[in-house]
Every structure is written in C-alpha cells, then in structure tokens.
Amino acid sequence: MNNPNMQAETKVQMDQIADSNGGQISVLRLSGDMSSSSREALMGSYAGASKNHPVLLDFTKVDYINSSGIALVIQVMMEAAKSGQKVAAFGLTPHFEKVFTMVGITKYAKLYKDQSAAVAALS
C-alpha cells in the first residue's frame, strides 16, 4: 500500500475586485489545508499581489487550519505592514474567528463574515 497523504494541497487563486469607490482589492481565495505545507502557495501568491491596494484572504473553502497555517497568515501581515498595506479576511468559521482573535491577529487584520462585508469596510 502506498503511503497515504493526509494533507490537502493548498491552492490559492488571486482575483482583482473593485471596491465601491473604484479602487482595487486583491482577493486571495484559499482552498484545501492551511498548514506548514501551505507556505509556497500562500507566500508565492501574496508576492504576486500589488502592494498598492488592500489584500483580502478568503477562507471560505479552507477545510483545515493549524498553528503553522496561522503563522503564515501572520507572515502575510508582516509583509503587508512593510508597505502599509491593509490585510483583512473573511469566510472563517466562528471557531477560527475565535482562534484568530485569541492569537491577536485581529489587532492587525479585521475579520469579516463574507466578501461583501469586507469590501464595504475596505472601501
């Protein structure tokens, strides 16, 4: 029997959307696991996003998040802070909204229920 891989590959799709004032927002749509194996997918996608407008992390299709995945979110926030870029997130379950709050992420990145709430707040 082959060794099964229990980790779901992290995929990130980047969309550009308009805010209500005609500005741009980059949305990183994450899917699969957010864990130590997600580094290349998340940081690579973030590196391709413009630093001139806000970044939204879409967790709607993320099945699993552990502390290593949360650490990668913090690394995105650290990179964004260097250029004064806003970072926000949406689509987290109530449990992970609580966990993100516990570790202090909400001090630097606001969490929203869905994309429309996030876009309205960032506009």
Give the residue with the Cβ less far from other proteins, 33 or 58.
33
Near other proteins by CB under 8 A: residue from 81, 113, 116, 120: 81
Near other proteins by CB under 8 A: residue from 10, 26, 35, 85: 35
Does residue 47 touch other proteins according to CB under 8 A? no
Say how far apart CA 3 and CA 119 lie, in whole Å.
43
Give the residue with the Cβ less far from other proteins, 8 or 23.
8
Q: What Å distances lie between residue 63 and 31, 94, 96, 97, CA to CA?
A: 7, 13, 11, 14
DSSP state at residue 113: S
* 49-68 residues near other proteins, rule: CB under 8 A: 64, 66-68
Say how far apart CA 71 and CA 112 lie, in whole Å.
19
